[in-house]
A and B are shown apart, each in its own frame.
Chain A
Amino acid sequence: MGTTVTLKDDSVGFVETQHFTFAYPPDELKLESGEKIGPVTLAFETYGTLSEAKSNAILIFHALSGDAHAAGFHEGDDNPGWWDNMIGPGKAFDTDKYFVICANVIGGCKGSTGPSSLNPRTHRPYGLDFPVITVRDMVNAQRHLVDHLGINQLLSIAGGSMGGMQVLEWMVSYPERVRSAIPIATAISHSPQQIAFNEVGRQAIMADPLWNGGDYYRGPSPDNGLSVARMVGHITYMSDKSMAEKFGRRFRGSRQFLKFTPDFEIEGYLQHQGNSFVKRFDANSYLYVTKAIDLFDTLAGKKLGEVFKGIDTRVLVIAFKSDWLYPAYQSQEIVKACKLAGLDVTYCDIDSSYGHDAFLLETEEETHLIKYFLKKVSQGELSVDYEI
């Protein structure tokens, strides 16, 4: 019955997702694959107020299963946005100072154009007629949104995991349109291990008979496949230690000898995560988006020392000690690229036991780093203004 949310002072409050549609034919969005798509809709949210000079905007990129709803509450929903503990008045991304934007990626299923959207040519969902999407395409689409909002240069861009890949892609695609960048728990490109886990997820979906070659929108969805994909994902987001602390070897009920029921708490947890995920995520989007991050390569044929050459962006790289999916050495590679290009870079490997999920959970240290980093970046802007 209605919402029971009590808003705290540091919440952005109730928010609504907005939509921006562009790339109407014949000016369709050209994709990295060479294919074209249009019109394209991006779902997005904003928090805080854009300054008159339009110089305080920060673009946040979400991770694989995230969406445009990064902070605050939707009417009737008790759960806040996915990075609510980081975005709000006085928080890391302080909405009293900054104008924060977050958009659902192209290829997604939370309001932006993706495989579950209607194909204007057939008036049916795209399914596998949807073109291959890359991280560059995701970033390019969001660049159109930033144009639409009238923002020439972003104060910062930030994101964890797949969000961090979009940060790196923006740095190389639109370096003159960003003053600082915060890639968190991410990589220059996926290792074979990371690709392997994603491939297991994709195979689980495609092995579900209900997947039906991606054409399932008129009938039941491949929930079993998508659920298994999510279960695999969740294992990789946690650490050995955090799993042991959260679940141990505890049984859910009394210890019985029933055949292959989820006896252990960890089994019940994974099944719950899988079952709730299928209610909010499209299986085809999972295929397209995981493929995009597997294909992602910041270097795109360049050497590590050349990739950031000539750009003038202040960078904060954050890794987490127990993150074995995106291990610290991958963040250090980003740092190395920054060093070789002579960029001003700060790096911290935060001590956390949460595994890859730490970027969503270990917010105290993350907040400290981001808050002071952004303070420094915006101070730089002030001193430049005074010199003029």
Chain B
Amino acid sequence: MKSDAAKLEHKIILGMVKKHASVLDLGCGDGELISALERENKSKVQGIEIDEQAIYKCVTKGLSVLHGDIDSGLLDYGDKTFDYVILNQSFQQVKQPDAVLKDALRVGKEVIVSFPNFAHYSARLQITLRGKTPITPSLPYEWYNTPNLHFLSISDFLDYCHRRGIKIIESVYIGKKRRVMLFPNLFALIGVFFITDNNKGE
């Protein structure tokens, strides 16, 4: 069952992608997002996914998908092959987010990154008051079974983009049921960033 926040997240990403564009989804899972992009935005979509069973689900949907590890799945594409490269909730799960994002910015004209915000107030309370690894609607896993390898906050990502010279075209913050407009690093569960490579833009 998809949470309201996740549904809103897909809707926001669909709104960021222009019609008839080419899209590469890194860590596309069972292909729900790219399937919607293909259907509603008439996108030309390509997914990469590491889980074999998810590959079968994508193929059932008629999607083109590559079975592989996104930590090494991008290198074969030429520069600016895709209009958009998407990292939807997979950014925090790769071994080397820095290298993956750099490659995503090379291969895509624009990149959309979304990830769970580790600095949500409920996570802060769980750590500081209870001294426990936080579990929130966007970070629903126990410490022992989480697929997440990196824990970052919205502020972390903003700092990172600034240091790397990455231009943020648009950022959208999502709470439990709706957008968050104020103090996103405290109140947002998910951050969605629409970014581009400042140096090598078209």
Within 8 A of B (CB), among A329-372: 332, 335-336, 339-340, 342, 344-351, 365, 368-369, 372
Pair A342/B81 contact, Cβ less than 8 Å:
yes
A interface: dominant SS: helix
What size tier do the contact residues of chain A reach? 20 to 34
Output the least CB separation between B56 and chain A (Å): 6
Which of A344, A351, A368, A369 sits near B46, CB closer than 8 Å?
A344
Output the least CB separation between A338 and chain B (Å): 9
Residue interface bits B38-68, CB-to-A below 8 A is 1, else 0? 0000001010000010011001101111111
Pair B52/A351 contact, Cβ less than 8 Å:
yes
Instruction: Across the interface, name the chain B residue whose C-beta is closest to A314.
Output: B64
Pair B78/A375 contact, Cβ less than 8 Å:
no
Residue interface bits B128-141, CB-to-A below 8 A is 1, else 0? 00000000000000
* Bound complex: CA A203 to CA B132 (Å): 68
Which of B52, B60, B76, B81 sits near A372, CB closer than 8 Å?
B60
Within 8 A of A (CB), among B75-106: 76-78, 81
Output the least CB separation between B107 and chain A (Å): 10
Output the least CB separation between B139 and chain A (Å): 30
Pair B64/A350 contact, Cβ less than 8 Å:
no
Q: Which residues of A contact B76 (CB under 8 A)?
A: 335-336, 339-340
A19 within 8 A of B: no
* Bound complex: CA A334 to CA B180 (Å): 45
A124 within 8 A of B: no
What size tier do the contact residues of chain B reach? 10 to 19
Pair A346/B52 contact, Cβ less than 8 Å:
no
Number of residue pairs A-B, CB distance < 8 angstroms: 49
Q: Which residues of A contact B56 (CB under 8 A)?
A: 348, 365, 368-369
Instruction: Across the interface, name the chain A residue whose C-beta is closest to B22.
Output: A342
Q: Which residues of A contact B77 (CB under 8 A)?
A: 339-340
Pair B64/A349 contact, Cβ less than 8 Å:
no
Q: Which residues of A contact B46 (CB under 8 A)?
A: 344-345
Q: Which residues of B contact A332 (CB under 8 A)?
A: 68
* Bound complex: CA A149 to CA B195 (Å): 54
Q: Which residues of A contact B67 (CB under 8 A)?
A: 347-349
* Bound complex: CA A18 to CA B122 (Å): 73
Output the least CB separation between A58 and chain B (Å): 18
* Bound complex: CA A350 to CA B64 (Å): 16
* Bound complex: CA A336 to CA B60 (Å): 23
Which of A336, A344, A351 sits near B64, CB closer than 8 Å?
A344
Output the least CB separation between B142 and chain A (Å): 27
Also in contact, A346 and B65, with CB within 8 A (given A351-B52, A365-B56): yes
**Additional pairs, 4, CB under 8 Å, beyond known A335-B66, A350-B52:** A336-B76, A344-B44, A347-B67, A376-B62
B residues apposed to A, CB below 8 Å: 44, 46, 52, 55-56, 59-60, 62-68, 76-78, 81
The 5 closest A-B pairs by CB, nearest first: A376-B62, A336-B76, A339-B76, A347-B66, A348-B67
CB-defined A-B contacts under 8 Å, sample of 18: A332-B68, A335-B66, A339-B77, A340-B77, A344-B44, A344-B46, A346-B59, A346-B63, A346-B66, A347-B68, A348-B59, A349-B67, A350-B52, A351-B52, A368-B59, A369-B56, A376-B62, A379-B62
